Amino acid sequence: MRLAHCTKECFYDICQIDAYSQQQREFDDWITNALNCGIKEFEDCARTYRTLRKEILNALKYGLTNDSTEGFNYKIKILKRSSHGI
């Protein structure tokens, strides 16, 4: 359980790094460590992250997320749910 927590926290730390070149190195190291940690869920995640490496690093570099889109979708879903039957 401690290994899982440390692995997760390490990834969060990578997201906070300002220097892009350091972020790339740390991200690649994280993938390697996660692939060899012995926790299936992290190994699966690391394989996916390795496949989407370029896209993930670009999102970290430019701060691009789909948070606002997801927020609008959530609001629409709630509005549809609350107006049921009207």
* Local confidence pLDDT in tens for the 86 residues of the chain: 799 999 999 999 998 998 999 999 999 999 999 999 999 999 999 999 999 999 999 888 887 777 778 888 888 888 888 887 66
- Select from 33, 38, 36 the least CA-distant residue to 9: 33
Q: b/e per residue, 8-41, with b = 16+ CB within 10 A?
A: eeebeebeeeeeeeebbebbeebbebbbebeeee
